[in-house]
Structures are given as C-alpha cells and as structure tokens.
Amino acid sequence: MPSKPAAPITMDAVYAAPGYLFRRMQQIAVSIFMEECKAFDLTPVQYAALVAIHTHPGIDATRLSAVIAFDRSTLGSVIERLQAKGYIERKPAPEDRRIKLLHLTKSGGAILRDIIPAVERAQARMLEPLKPADRKALMGLLVQLVDLNNEASRVPLRAEDALEHLGKSG
C-alpha cells in the first residue's frame, strides 16, 4: 500500500501549529505583564507565588510548587529573590526545623495589594483584541484544554493535594 506523501516542510506549518501559537502567546502574555507591572519589578511567577503565600500563609516550597504548578528546583530561586526583596520570610516548621514555611512580610502584602490593578490591566490587554464573546469562548476553551492536559505537564497542578496537607482548602 503506497504511503501518503509527506507534507512539504514550511514555516507556514510551524506558524499554524498549536504548540507554536501557545508559545507565542506565552511570550506575548509575559511581555504585556512585564510592561504593565514594570514599576513593581515582579515576574508573573513571583506574583503567583506571592498570591499563593498570601492565600496560604505557612506553605512550604514543595506545596507552593504544586499550588502554582511550577518546577520545584526553579522555584527555589524565585523564593530567594522574593526574600531578598523583603516580600517574604522563611520560618522553620515547628515539627521539622529543616522545612521552611513561607510568610508574606508587610512589604510583601503591600506590593501584592498595589500590583493588583496593573495585573488586571495586563490580563485585560491580553484579550482586548478579541470581541467579548470570543474572549469568553477562548477562556472557556483554555480552561478546558489546561484541565484535560494537566497530567501531560512536567509540573501538573496539584493544588488540592498540596493544600490538603496544610489542613486548608483553596
């Protein structure tokens, strides 16, 4: 049985591929976030970490990694930067002093409150070119895709599992 001829190798095929488009949108999203939030000197991951620590004071780095779906080894440098900026502090866990529990400082809480309008502007700008109905449809499809493909991620979202160990729901 003759095989189907291979499609020609073109950049158009790359430009139309979902993976390429997701990567490009990630670049655009980070660029817009950094532009809107430049006065705060925070990256999107640092922002997510601050929100998670605010929401779950006393979370440890392993659980933080699961809550924000970010690689544990890379998260260490994010935590170090946030601590160096004075936004978080690490305190030893009473039951195991080797485990460091994360808490926002007063300045961490203040920057988190102050950055919210800029983050909201960034999120709105990412979807602004679309019509309102298309924004809603895109968001619904993205939520569905991320949820259905969670297990394919190098760092699957495990918020419920992580928070169960804290004795809190989130």
What's the angle, vertex CA 156, arms to CA 130 and CA 133, rounded to 5? 15
CA–chain centroid gap for 54, Å, is: 15
How does residue 9 score in pLDDT terms, banded at 50, 70 and 90?
Answer: confident
Instruction: Characterize the bridge pairing of strands 100-104 and 88-92.
Output: antiparallel
Backbone phi, psi, residue 59, to 5°: -70, 145
As a whole number of Å, the end-to-end CA separation of the chain is 56
Cβ-based neighbour number of residue 123 at 10 Å: 14
Mean pLDDT for 99-121 is 98
Taking only the tens place, the pLDDT of each residue in 14-52 is: 999 999 999 999 999 999 999 999 999 999 999 999 999
Q: For residue 169, what pLDDT is reported?
A: 39
Q: What is the pLDDT of residue 5?
A: 75
CA torsion sign, 16 to 145 to 133 to 30?
Answer: negative
Give, for 157, the enclosing helix (H) or strand (E): none
Write the pLDDT tens digit of every residue in 56-86.
999 999 999 999 999 988 999 999 999 999 9
* pLDDT of res. 168: 44
- Residue pLDDT, tens place only, 119-163: 999 999 999 999 999 999 999 999 999 999 989 988 888 877 655
- The vertex-88 CA angle with 106 and 125, nearest 5°, equals 85
User: What's the sign of the alpha-carbon dihedral 149, 159, 22, 77?
Assistant: negative
| Mean of pLDDT values over 86-107 | 95
More confident call, 167 vs 140: 140
Whole-structure pTM value: 0.87
Say how far apart CA 91 and CA 166 lie, in whole Å.
15
The confidence score (pLDDT) of residue 1 equals: 63
- Name which of 2-16, 17-31, 97-111 the model is least confident about: 2-16
CA distance 151 to 6: 31
Q: CA 27 to CA 24: how far, in whole Å?
A: 5
